[in-house]
Amino acid sequence: MTARAQVVARHTGRAARDERPLSGSLAEVTLDDGRVVVVKRSDEPGAARAEAAGLRWLAAAGSVRVPAVHGHEEGWLVIDRVPRGRPGPDAAVRFGRDLAALHAAGAPAFGAPPPGGPVEAFIGLAPMRNEPAADWPRWYAEQRVLPYLRRAVDQGTVRAGEAAVVERLCEELPELAGPAEPPARLHGDLWSGNVLWAADGRVWLIDPAAHGGHRETDLAMLRLFGCPHLEQVLDGYQEDAPLAGGWRERVGVHQLFPLLVHAVLFGRGYAEQALSAARTALAE
């Protein structure tokens, strides 16, 4: 019995009948009763715990669909598989409404981790600290933007002289952030690869970096990396939870965090996008 099969047996109570690798860290495992689960392997301490806590917190909102968590242990996570379907406009509108309900479920504070989730969490392969704060502009600057800017500068991905435009944006965030809003319950890593259009006609979300944050951040990430039927998603969202005036001008502010994360992980191209987003936001 493989290590993966042993993990599955411990957390589902069923024997593994077949295993199909999907990538270096992912595999589908068919159980002896015919059900299929997904097994994830991570070498990062706390990653499985963080993801499991995030999925359960999102599920507790009773809005967006997420895979059920069978269990986790150090380095391993076992969740249900989502049967894939095709994107469609009706599903997009419903997803927008579901996302609005998720955000409205709220969080104790900006930066609050999911219940049972670690302070030292992850967004993709990058470390992400969940340290609660009451003020969004200050928290966003200190806990989301500046840590990744410093790492990018240290790596040479952002040149030292270029960092000033991002630092200036952080100083002006109180004026750029728009009306104050309560902490929203965020997916936190809402790019299109984590949005699954399922066979049941609904949208399911995977791989969260869940925390309390500003709801416009999730929406900005959807736009940054492309999402099928995005305008229908936004229409559904705004039917139930209209966004504050000027939200389109704030998209770049909210995209700065994921762009800097990607600059740290993947290099100069994303750094240039981050610098451009900061300049545009300051010029609005």
Burial label for 27, CB within 10 Å (0-12, 13-18, 19+), is buried
State the catalytic residue, choosing from 98, 189, 207, 218.
189
Cα–Cα distance for residue pair 263/248, rounded to 1 Å: 23
Both structure tokens of 181: 């809003």
Angle at 106 between CA 251 and CA 183, to 5 degrees: 50
- Order of strands across the sheet with 76-80? 16-21, 26-31, 36-41, 76-80, 69-73
189 as an active site residue: the answer is yes
The residue count of the chain comes to 284
CA-wise closest residue to 189 among 65, 55, 79, 25: 55
**Residues in CB range of 130: below 8 A, 6 or more apart:** 111, 112, 113, 117, 118, 119, 120, 121, 211
- The residues annotated as belonging to the active site are 189
